[in-house]
Every structure is written in C-alpha cells, then in structure tokens.
Structure 1
C-alpha cells in the first residue's frame, strides 16, 4: 500500500477541526480533514428521528462573545433568520419547586431560588468581577485573579458565598459543563460567563440543528469520513508528519492539526513535544450523558415566566443535574403538538452510568426527572441515549497552571485544536482554537517558529499570511 501525500492533514471533523481547515483553506493551503465517524460535527452533532430534531451535544450559542463563531456563520452564508434567539430563560429547582431567572439580573428581584443573603453574595460577586477582574482577558483564564482555585475553594469563607455556590455556580457548571466544584477551577467558568455577558446572556440556536455550521463548513472542504487515525508522528529532519490509519493506510502531510480532545491527542501522538505534554496531560475531561425523551405532547414551562431549561443542585439530586425542554428552546425541535425533553445525568453519577445499557440509563434518569417535570414518563413515547465519555474540558487546576507555557511553546509540524486548548468549555472555545491552530500552522510554514497566541495572534483575530503571500479571510 502506497503512501498518500497531503499538504495539511486535520484529524477530526468537529467544529474545531473544521474551523482550522476553513482558515487554512482561506489562506491558500490544501487541506484534507479525516474523521473517524460517519458524520461531521463531533459534540455539536444533531440527529433527525421520527420528525424530531435532537441536539446530541451542544445546545446553544451566544449573541455576544462568540465572535469567531459568528465570523464563520457569515463566511458560509447562514442568514441571521436561521439562528433564532432562545426567548425563555433558565430556571433552578430548589426546595421543592422551580424558580425562574437563574443567573439573570431579574433573579436579584425575584430571588431565583436564593435567600436575601444569597442574593447579596451574588451582588458582591458581580461587583468583584467588575473591579478585581477588570481588564481580565477571557481568552487567558490562567491569568485570572482566582489563580487555580476550584469553585469550592473560591466560595469558601462565608455562608453567602456557599449559598451562591450551592444555588447558582454548582448547578450551572454541573448542568452545562458536567463539572464538580471540588475538581474544576473557577477561572474557566468565569471567563466563559464574562465573555458572553453572564448566564443571563442572549442565547441562540441554529434553526436546523446545532450541526448546521459544521455541515456548511464541511461542504466547502475535503472531508473523509470513516477514516480512523491510529497514530501520528513527526518525521525527523523536517520530513513532515506521518499518519497511520486503522485500515493500514499511511498518509504523509507537510503539517497536521490534531483537532481532538487532549486525551485522544496524547494517545495518537507518541512523540508529543516536551513543551506541550504537561498541558495535554492536565487537560482532563468530564463525561456528558443525557437522554432525549420524545413526547406525544409538549410539557409546559416549569415556571410562570417561561423557562426552557432547569438546573438541579446536587443538594436536590445526585442523579439528574438538569433538563431542557427542547420544544421551548426553538420551533421545529418536535413535530406540531408534540414535545422533546433532554435529561442530563449528574456528574456524581455519569461516570458510573456511562457504560450501562440504555435501558438502565433511561430508567435511572427519567424516573428522577419525573420529580422536576411531572408527566414526563407518561408523555414519553421513545428515548435515545447520547453518551460522550470525553464530554467537556474539566477545567482542572493543573490545566490552569500549565496553560501559559503551552501557549508560549514554539510552533511545530503538529498543532492542536479543541475546546481544551482555549480552556473554554464551549463551542466558541473550539472554534477559536481552530483559528489559533491555523495561525500557528501558517507561522511554522513561514519559518516564524513562535506565535504568541493570545497577545495579538490568532486567538485575537489575526492570522499570518500563508507562504507566497496568500491573504487570509477576515
């Protein structure tokens, strides 16, 4: 079997890999994307079942703080009308009932499940972000005033802070990121929230599914599906990159981007550079596990002020960390007169359930979710389980400590993309990382050797020109 030659190989057709490939192609490079699965999108994949539209991973994007995403949306011609605003808000289940306006400024007036002491702690936390965190760059969570403190450590010291953790920060981080407060740092969460304007930000979704952008990007690129890469190695003396595939095929590329979770990159590449290895090793992931419940009727909002999502604190349940009423999130997620609900496993139980049969997962999660959405079981006509063993970056303190050195490493023939690179557990983090990786690939080819990523480089919006003077899209 011969050796195929390519210019730039991108491993992974999730949104990070497709972002990198798009920017490299726009700069004049010949790019080929290799994807193990039979579809693009990765953790932004959607599926269509019996007239229902299921977002299997990511659920929304934000109107602010998602600049790299909106740049791609414009580039592929998705009209604004296809990215509608999610009008209902987030709710919190606490003390036997649902409370509207979780994380939204209106919650300071309505309570949002917090006592007066908790609301005062929320106000003080907001004031702290406006003063002590002033000038903080959300693209550099490792520079946060909180250092590598975990969410729990950050909230120690007062009963108000502890309530803020119990009734806001923990429910949001567990529901949205799969985090536990004793193992995840506060800096990445605050960076993510500050960048979009807070949990009460203007959230949006793709009318035709969260895989819309990935599909539109892939249409413009060369993507090989079902191509399982099992090994990646930099050749000596500038000989490029050797990629080995599960079917025995070998591809040699001038350069490569590994757009996969850090644990996968470590497993694929045996010769990870010493400058990169500590951060890759520290970039651990949390699993995400949810059940899609296809309903024969739409369930109502759990609160009088419409809420499409509801987070559940661990003090209320160690099984279900939250639910999303997808039929309230956007039109078209369920057929007319029907409903769709996603039930999320708590990070306290998801590692245990992940390898269990679908039947046990459904029974465990949906029985518990019935407490928070009465009538769920009776309305459910079909269920589907979506598992992501590598769900989202854990935001571990070790990753916060190691990230600065990772960003300052010299460029190499193999670069990396993924939400873990930005230490930002969101699709925007993945998109930004793809743009950053493209900038590093171009800088390496041009002989620059070093690209100060978050000090005016690709993460800040600029890409160096490709060799030969090709211009990049802006």
Structure 2
C-alpha cells in the first residue's frame, strides 16, 4: 500500500485499486477514519486483453459474453456456462473461508479444463497472472473465483485519490510508529512474547507479525505445532513492475479507453499487464504528462530480480513499446519496484491447512496480512488486521465484572 511522489507524479508501488463492493471491512475502516467517498473515486475505465494484434476491451465484465473481450465465439458460450455456474453456487463461496467452496482444491488450470481453452488462456490466466502473479498450474481456483464474485465488474473499481497509501497514512496519524528497526527473532514465553529488535530485547504481552507468511515462519522461532503447517504452506509469488514517467499521456490504442491492458502468456513472455495510471486518476501525473506501470510476467521475474535495475527497465520498456507506440521516446524517468514476497499464492495445500490454523487459540503472537485470509488484496489485509486485533484484545482485556446478586434478606425477599 505504498506510494511515492516525484516531481508531481504519484506512483503506486504495490496495490493499484480497490473495489466499490466486496470490500466491506475496508469501507467500514474508511468511514471510521472519516475518509469521504470523494477521496476514493471510481476509475471508470475498461480492462482489455491483447489478442491477434490488438486490444479487446471488456475483460472482467459480464458483457464479455456478447462482446467477446478476446474470446472466440465458442469460448463465449463456455464463459456463459461459467457465469451461470458461479451464479448458482454464489452463496457457497465465502471470502473469509476460501477453503469452503464448490471448486474444491482444484488449481485454476484444472478447473478451466471443463471449458474452452480460451477461457483459461485469455481470461483466467491473464487475470491471475497480472493481478496476483499466479501460475495457474499451482494456484487454487476457489480464492480467485470468490474474490472476482465479491469485487464485481471492473466498472465498479476505485482508487485512492492521492495515492494507494492514503489508508495507511491515515491509520498512522497520531500513533507512535517506528520504522527501520529490523526484527531479528520472536519467541513466545509463558503468556508473553520476547523480540530481538535491532540488537535490543523487547518484551510484550502481545505482538502482531504483519509480514508475509515465510517471514513470519522464520522470525517466530518457536511457533506452535498447529501454526507451522499453514505458515509453511503459504507460499508467495514475487512481483516486479516498472513505472514510466511520461512527457505526454500515452496509452495502448483501443476503441474503448483502457485502465489496464492484459498481455496473456499465450501472447507475451515478458509482460503480464500495462496499467494506465493517469487514466486511473488524473492526479497520478502532472497536467499534460502521463504515467504507465509495466507489470513483469511471473515467468521472467526470478531472472529479472538478479539483473541491474536499468537492464530490467530497458527490457520491459522494449516489450511494452509495441503495445504503446512511442513509449520509449516519451519516457522521462523509470523506477523499478520489486518484491520477493509479492502476493500470497493460494495453493491447494494452503487451502487444506487453513482450517486448523484459523481454529487455533488466541496467543501472545498473532499474524496479519492478506495471506491469513488467502485473499491477495488489500481487503484481505484489512480483514486480517481486524481479526488479529480482536484476538489480541480477547487476551489483554480484563474479564468483565459481573455483579453478584444480593444475598437474600427479609426486605428483598419480600
């Protein structure tokens, strides 16, 4: 949820948007913080997919059954079948319990086998690969289907007016926030927790590890046996993107103005998506300028993480220029953003291990992050934070005093 500012540009380093629906905990938190709805405007642009040398708008929209959105006529019929199936089973999908699902533990690739190949290659794969960084052969279908059902069509997606860090900044106001102190070890001890922080030792009645699951598993050296299976099953995919600060507002050519252009694995092995940030909100770039985000394909990220940033930026800009003519000449500055633990990968194994983890007793060490909910979105992080807070308070609050009934006397008996 980080953004940084440079010469009038506001660059979203991580998350890009939220939803007007399906983000109940986020909207409740925004309301409690007094953030007006005007500060979370609609994006109002379409999501497109690249196929056959051009962009096809309407991905993540019900109208794709009619317009195609890159799907062949036969695949549109199967998309209608998929939408009908999800409508019938909608109540069986639970955002807070993705393991309870009619999709079982099938991976996205296995789930897609019941439909035309295009449904995987030009819908499920590009959506999973760009927004989540997922390999459809490894990640489960259930969490993604539940999330798509919850957030609804792309027409309802929103962003924060002054950058995706708005909520984090508002939460931090007035709090004693310290950053830059590395936590080296977390140990649970008889009703309390001991932490080694920057060479010092800190003890507390409770601590919340708001870090990716692999980091939490490494830090919490004596995590209880009923936590470890889920902590170790929650794998993460790396993410990498390049922000291009432009001297003019370029975008992929399309009959319908686009917010995102998806570049499927079937079409491109370097990029997964191009995000038009100045279309997301005009305040992301100075007047008359532009801002694009180039998302790297998950297959290339491990190698790119080892290369110099300039080389990485060059490669992604070269790959994106055919989709956005003139991009290479219009770019004034480029910034590379890479995260080894980018997004939680909801594998079938993680689904199977989640129920015992969620049923564990409240303890001195709690966890927060979108991986707790197996929902790779900021709403998952907000929900997990609320859950962690309630679990901490259940231990720290003194028991409520219940007054005893008065002893019987002659007066009160009468």
Matched, 1:241 2:193: yes
Partner of 2:30: 73
Runs of 4+ in 1 over 4 A off after TM superposition: none
Q: Distance in 2 between matches of 1:74 and 1:304?
A: 37
Structure 2: give runs of 5+ residues left out of the alignment.
402-414
Please give the secondary structure, in 2, of the residue aligned with 1:123.
helix
* 1:96 pairs with one of 49, 53, 61: 53
Q: Residues 138 and 194 of structure 1 are in contact (CA less than 8 Å); yes or no, is this contact kept in structure 2?
A: no
* 1:338 pairs with one of 289, 293, 296: 289
TM-score norm. by structure 1 comes to 0.83
Q: Residues 206 and 364 of structure 2 are in contact (CA less than 8 Å); yes or no, is this contact kept in structure 1?
A: yes
Q: Distance in 2 between matches of 1:201 and 1:189?
A: 18
Deviation per residue, 1:373-413 (Å, 9 max, x gap): 11111111110000111000011111011111111112211
* RMSD over equivalenced CA pairs, Å: 1.4
Please give the secondary structure, in 2, of the residue aligned with 1:422.
coil
The structure whose Rg is larger is 2
CA shift at 1:364, angstroms? 1.2
* 2:372 pairs with one of 421, 424, 440: 421
TM-score norm. by structure 2 comes to 0.94
Q: Which moved more, 1:125-134 or 1:274-283?
A: 125-134
Matched, 1:132 2:132: no
CA shift at 1:201, angstroms? 5.0
Q: Distance in 1 between matches of 2:201 and 2:230?
A: 28
Partner of 2:404: none
Q: Which moved more, 1:428-437 or 1:346-355?
A: 346-355
Partner of 1:114: 71
Q: Distance in 1 between matches of 2:400 and 2:269?
A: 56
Deviation per residue, 1:221-259 (Å, 9 max, x gap): 2211112111100113x2x1001112x111110011111
* Structure possessing the higher relative contact order (Cα contacts under 8 Å, 6 or more residues apart): 1
CA shift at 1:132, angstroms? 3.4
Q: Residues 178 and 286 of structure 1 are in contact (CA less than 8 Å); yes or no, is this contact kept in structure 2?
A: yes
* 1:211 pairs with one of 145, 154, 165: 165
Q: Residues 133 and 144 of structure 1 are in contact (CA less than 8 Å); yes or no, is this contact kept in structure 2?
A: no
CA shift at 1:355, angstroms? 2.5
Q: Residues 259 and 416 of structure 1 are in contact (CA less than 8 Å); yes or no, is this contact kept in structure 2?
A: yes
Q: Residues 58 and 64 of structure 2 are in contact (CA less than 8 Å); yes or no, is this contact kept in structure 1?
A: yes
Q: Distance in 2 between matches of 1:208 and 1:145?
A: 39
Please give the secondary structure, in 1, of the residue aligned with 2:167.
helix
Q: Distance in 2 between matches of 1:153 and 1:220?
A: 49
CA shift at 1:443, angstroms? 2.2
CA shift at 1:469, angstroms? 5.2
Partner of 2:204: 253
Partner of 1:146: 103
The within-5 A match list for 1:5-16 is none
The within-5 A match list for 1:3-402 is 44-158=1-115, 160=116, 162-197=117-152, 199-236=153-190, 238=191, 240-246=192-198, 248-402=199-353
Q: Distance in 1 between matches of 2:89 and 2:156?
A: 25
Q: Residues 139 and 191 of structure 1 are in contact (CA less than 8 Å); yes or no, is this contact kept in structure 2?
A: no
Q: Distance in 2 between matches of 1:439 and 1:49?
A: 38
Q: Residues 252 and 323 of structure 2 are in contact (CA less than 8 Å); yes or no, is this contact kept in structure 1?
A: no
Deviation per residue, 1:105-154 (Å, 9 max, x gap): 22222210111111111110011111134332221111111211111011
Distance 1:128 1:157, change over 3 A: closer
Please give the secondary structure, in 2, of the residue aligned with 1:146.
coil
Q: Which moved more, 1:298-307 or 1:120-129?
A: 298-307
